[in-house]
Amino acid sequence: MAVNIQSVGVIGAGQMGNGIAHVCALAGFSVLLNDLSADRIKAGMATINGNMARQVGKKAISEDDRKSALGRIKPAEKYDALSGCDLVIETATEKEDVKRKIFSDVCASLKSDAILATNTSSISITRLASSTDRPERFIGIHFMNPVPLMELVELIRGIATDDATFESSKAFVSKLGKTIAVSEDFPAFIVNRILLPMINEAIYTLYEGVGNVEAIDTAMRLGAHHPMGPLELADFIGLDTCLSVMQVLHEGLADSKYRPCPLLVKYVEAGWLGRKTQRGFYDYRGEKPVPTR
């Protein structure tokens, strides 16, 4: 039976999690935000507040909208607090073992008809569902970053996902005012299956000395009309996430064209993960970003 989703739990208050909580609260859902510590939840709430204030400044929403939406988001330090949720969305780091542990731990706290969803950008929905007690009520709801601005959500059914879960999830995403693209459960789905190999190829272009960072990004911005160059975009996504997705593609499809560029591996090993660590293909520590190659 389809669930009428009214309350949403979000596991992870980072970049994706706070964005999902933000759009859910603005759409009228009551939201419980969970993370490993109270500090992380607090930081997520502060980001939401700041992003909504920006929307007010741009006249995208009213001050009343902001206040009432913020009032709909509550911290949930323990999984038990999610017991009343109709839908729980996991937005943890793109590592399968981390996600599987969350699912096996959280299931005991959820009501039997609650839908469990993952925001994974690349990992098999069928495989993740197998670590839960409700594979038929499990689905991939993949939001794009930054969530408040991006119009698309990918919906991915696992082999066991039932029709009621799919229909409830579709209705939920529509209420958020987002457009749905339905993807089959293949590595990296649609957007990242196309986008990440392009970014990886841009890194190979840099690695092989075909062009420097600036030349590559300028070429794609002005020559292909991309709003952001591929290396700038990689820094925005996080180079660790880019590498994780390429590894999933390479392992899942066993095709050498998905081999992660050695330069991407080197940057991740150095801890230069892009904007979040202040260094990636650009150095963000000064007045304006400076290419690192």
Residue type for position 271: G
Residue 18 catalytic?
A: no
Reply yes or no: is the peptide bond before residue 146 cis, omega within 30 of 0.
yes
How far is residue 5 CA from its own chain's centroid?
A: 20
Q: Which residues have C-beta within 8 Å of that of residue 12, sequence separation ≥ 6?
A: 34, 35, 90, 91, 92
142 is catalytic: yes
154 as an active site residue: the answer is yes
Can you read off the two tokens belonging to residue 196?
């990440």
Task: Please list the residues that pair with 156 across neighbouring strands.
Answer: 140, 183
State the catalytic residue, choosing from 7, 169, 192, 244: 192
pLDDT of residue 41: 98
The residues with which 152 forms a beta bridge, in sequence order, are 179
| Bridge partner list, 11 | 34, 90
User: Hey, which residues does 183 pair with through a beta bridge?
Assistant: 156
Residue ranges, CATH 1.10.1040.10, the chain: 192-291
Partner residues linked to 115 by β-bridges: 87
Helix (H, G, I), strand (E, B) or coil at 116: strand
pLDDT at 2: 79
Domain 7-183 top-level CATH class: alpha beta
The single residue of 154, 168, 232, 244 carrying the catalytic annotation is 154
Query: pLDDT digits over 116-132, tens only?
Result: 999 999 999 999 999 99
Please list, residue by residue across 172-208, b when 16 or more beta carbons sit within 10 angstroms of its beta carbon and e when fewer do: bbeebebeeeebebebbbbbbbebbbebbebbbbbee
Axis-axis angle for helices 239-253, 191-207 (nearest 10): 110
The tokens for 66 are 């902001």
Count of CB atoms situated within 10 Å of the CB of 54: 12
Q: Which pLDDT score, from 0 to 100, does residue 1 have? A: 76
Give every CB contact of residue 278 below 8 A, 6+ residues apart in sequence: 284, 285
Instruction: Please give the chain's pLDDT, 293 residues, in tens.
Output: 778 999 999 999 999 999 999 999 999 999 999 999 999 999 999 999 999 999 999 999 999 999 999 999 999 999 999 999 999 999 999 999 999 999 999 999 999 999 999 999 999 999 999 999 999 999 999 999 999 999 999 999 999 999 999 999 999 999 999 999 999 999 999 999 999 999 999 999 999 999 999 999 999 999 999 999 999 999 999 999 999 999 999 999 999 999 999 999 999 999 999 999 999 999 999 999 999 99
In contact, 2 and 46? CB cutoff 8 Å: no
Catalytic residue among 121, 122, 124, 168: 121
CATH of domain 192-291: 1.10.1040.10
Q: Where does CATH 3.40.50.720 sit in the chain?
A: 7-183
At 3 the pLDDT is 81
Catalytic residue (choose from 34, 109, 142, 169): 142
